[in-house]
A and B are shown apart, each in its own frame.
Chain A
Amino acid sequence: MKRWEIKKVLEREIESLPQGVTIPEAGTSENYITGTWRTFKPVIDFEKCTQCLFCFIFCPDSSIEVDNGKVVGVDLKHCKGCGICAAECPRNAISMIEEREEG
């Protein structure tokens, strides 16, 4: 049973507000883009990467994408570009590239 639609709430359909300010769905903040906060973006050099997963475990924004236990990329919709992954990568496999350089 679908208990609400976030879209309706965002469209200010007051009748659709769930009782008691409850958000009856998990992880809806995925719909909120924090990638725009970034000035530098992490780029992983998979040639150097040894799949130690340090970047994954240290990312404050759950933005290192993993698939079946392997790092496969960065979720640029949410990565805030803090640079912790790059600072902690033991292989120096991550570089922080200024966003506008790519135009």
Chain B
Amino acid sequence: MASLKELAKRKDLLAPGHRLCAGCGESIIVRQILLASEKPVVVANATGCLEVSSTIFPYTSWRCSYIHNAFENAAATASGIEAALKVFRKKGIMKDDFNVVAVAGDGGTYDIGLQALSGAFERNHNFVYVCLDNGAYMNTGIQRSSATPMGAWSSTTPVGKVERGKQEWRKDLVMFAVAHNVPYVANASPSHFMDLIRKAEKAFNANGPALLNVLSPCPRGWRYPQEDGIKIARLAVETNVWPLYEVENGRFKINIKPRETKPVIEWLKHQGRFRHLFKPGNEDMVEEIQRKVDYEWKKLNIFERATSEL
């Protein structure tokens, strides 16, 4: 794997001048992943913050080929690009190979884009799907998605007398991908960039579809100071809220096991979207979230052991 120094010598495929918020996690993740590509890249991007901020005509931040089609179809669009690439290479009219990358937010992936993603996985297109998971529809103003964490405030799960933020647990995208038997699936965070870049390399080299589900800190939606994004993403890993693991041909591997797991409060307390959980009377919710994180972590460890011989 390339060292950071070698990566720094590569051309950044995302140019500056995009209009994502200061401190946004999305461009950090895209830069890290695309730096890992040794081939030219084609990006199919779903509607969302990244798309509206990086392609404001006639300004584009993309130094690789890029297409935005619509919200729910990044995976289907990538399927078409990959099919074209395949036929051109088959006919011998194209020598170049490309990494085909679909990029979408959690809304475009967990919710509206799930069917297209499932189809593309099942058809075994050779592409990498990147989910930038910031846990809500940030582009339209912080509405809940099925990736929004339990208890989080969002503009459609406000805190009131009866409801205390989002009432449901998040959907498990990684297990959804694993159920499709795709060769490579990983949970990653930009705070642990070497882990993410290594995973991106693996995803690019996978023989078939791959999913990178990446935690994308959002200062506006999560309500934290703009310089804290990486710190908060790191806390998600250190509290086991966002474990770093990968599933290669069905074999689970936890990439980083915190030596000392921090309590989930450490992750919650820096974010305004969880502020109400610290009001008297809501202790039960924090406890419930802790129990769920512990349970998921235990489950993940069992999966790792159970699949170790696959």
Contact = CB atoms under 8 A, between A and B. Distances in A.
A63 B55 contact: no
Nearest to B227: A83
Contacts of B193: 57-58
B15 to A, nearest CB: 3
Contact of A27 (B8, B22, B25, B60): B60
B57 A80 contact: no
Contacts of B55: 23
Interface string A72-95: 000101101111101110000000
A31 interface: yes
Nearest to A52: B4
Interface stretch (B26-34, B93-101, B284-292): B26-34
Interface string B15-40: 11111101111111001100000000
A97 to B, nearest CB: 14
Given A34-B17, A84-B229, A86-B227, A23 B25 contact: no
Interface residues of A, number: 43
Contact of B17 (A30, A58, A60): A30
B4 to A, nearest CB: 5
A43 interface: no
A69 to B, nearest CB: 4
Interface of A: 6, 9-10, 21, 23, 25-34, 37-38, 52-53, 56-63, 66, 68-70, 75, 77-78, 80-84, 86-88, 96
Interface size class of B (residues with CB under 8 A): 35 or more
Contact of B57 (A21, A27, A60, A86): A21
Contact of A87 (B22, B27, B230): B230
Given A27-B60, A83-B226, A57 B231 contact: no
A78 B27 CA distance: 13
A30 to B, nearest CB: 5
B61 A27 contact: yes
22 contacts: A9-B57, A23-B60, A25-B60, A27-B61, A28-B17, A29-B17, A29-B56, A29-B60, A31-B17, A56-B4, A56-B8, A57-B8, A57-B31, A57-B193, A58-B28, A58-B193, A61-B27, A69-B5, A77-B16, A78-B16, A80-B23, A88-B230
